[in-house]
């Protein structure tokens, strides 16, 4: 049986700090982030992304496998903390807590750290603002077999709790680089990878592009789409045809549609 320290007071310093870690500045200063729920923490452990600390409350457990997960986390070196129901409710960021929350060390992938298949298949997103969209994009990239996701000039951060939650743990297995448009363009050119930019301002349908060979699909921000820098310098521009009043899809949905056209062609 695992050993755990008991915390019941809402005024405990650890409880106060966990609440602070919802804020990006606090996360970056401490170099850690939060992952909540059974699925996210179990996927982290599966990928050897071992938590530094795990906080739990049996009052909130939903299933029967939580204790086994805690045993695994303890064997991986995590410190365990047993919280009272109200204490856990204070640190949880989900509407309905599952009684599990982990503190995990941040990581930092660079472009040169990426291991690419032959031919490479990449997803680039520029200026993403909403963490929920970023997490969903990571899930779509994983489902489509993308080698890596490159986030250029992102407004949100990879370690936002809503990014972690909406990725359903994919964040622990999908290589993701946070960088700039300029660095990414130079890297693509050096690697000989062509870029296909998505925009409503073109006559080329997304089904008409040639997605063979080394490829990067480039998606823009929710509000502004792609910058002129990407539109001018991409190798090809495509659009998803819209039959109704809306002139664009949600960026996560548009990403999914485009990626699976690549999958269809490459299959």
The total number of residues shown for the chain amounts to 267
Dig out the tokens for 56 from the structure: 């739990």
Coil, strand or helix: which one is 51?
A: coil
Measured distance CA(80)–CA(73) in Å, rounded: 8
Q: What is the DSSP annotation of 76-109?
A: TT-EEEEE-HHHHHHH--SSS--SEEEEEE---B
Lowest mean pLDDT among 28-32, 65-69, 220-224: 220-224
> Which pLDDT value is given to residue 222?
77
For the chain, the structural domain boundaries read 5-105, 111-266
Q: What percent of the chain has pLDDT over 90?
A: 91
What CATH architecture does domain 5-105 belong to? 2-Layer Sandwich (3.30)
pTM (2 d.p.): 0.93
> Which pLDDT value is given to residue 242?
78
> Which pLDDT value is given to residue 261?
98
> Which pLDDT value is given to residue 88?
97
- The number of C-alpha atoms within 13 Å of 265 and in the hemisphere containing its C-beta is 16
What CATH architecture does domain 111-266 belong to? 3-Layer(aba) Sandwich (3.40)
Burial class (CB in 10 A: 0-12, 13-18, 19+), 119: middle
Report whether pLDDT(247) > 60: no
- The number of C-alpha atoms within 13 Å of 112 and in the hemisphere containing its C-beta is 3
Report whether pLDDT(245) > 60: no
């Amino acid at each position: 049986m695992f050993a755990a320290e008991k915390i019941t007071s809402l005024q405990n310093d650890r409880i106060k700090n966990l609440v602070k870690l919802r804020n990006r500045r606090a996360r970056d200063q401490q170099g850690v982030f939060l992952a909540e729920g059974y699925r996210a923490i179990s996927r982290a452990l599966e990928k050897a992304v071992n938590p530094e600390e795990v906080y739990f409350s049996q009052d909130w457990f939903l299933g029967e496998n939580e204790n086994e997960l805690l045993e695994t986390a303890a064997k991986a070196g995590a410190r365990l903390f047993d919280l009272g129901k109200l204490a856990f409710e204070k640190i949880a960021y989900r509407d309905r807590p599952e009684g599990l929350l982990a503190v995990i060390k941040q990581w930092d992938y660079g472009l040169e750290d990426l291991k690419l298949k032959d031919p490479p298949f990449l997803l680039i997103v520029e200026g993403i603002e909403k963490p929920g969209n970023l997490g969903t994009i990571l899930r779509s990239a994983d489902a489509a077999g993308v080698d890596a996701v490159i986030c250029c000039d992102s407004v949100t951060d990879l370690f936002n709790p809503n990014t972690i939650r909406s990725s359903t743990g994919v964040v622990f297995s999908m290589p993701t680089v946070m960088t700039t448009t300029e660095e990414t363009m130079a890297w693509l050119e050096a690697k000989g990878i062509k870029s296909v930019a998505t925009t409503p301002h073109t006559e080329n349908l997304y089904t008409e592009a040639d997605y063979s060979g080394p490829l990067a699909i480039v998606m823009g921000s929710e509000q502004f789409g792609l910058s002129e820098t990407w539109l001018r310098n991409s190798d090809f521009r495509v659009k998803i045809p819209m039959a109704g009043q809306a002139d664009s899809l949600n960026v996560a949905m548009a990403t999914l549609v485009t990626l699976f056209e690549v999958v269809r062609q490459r299959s």
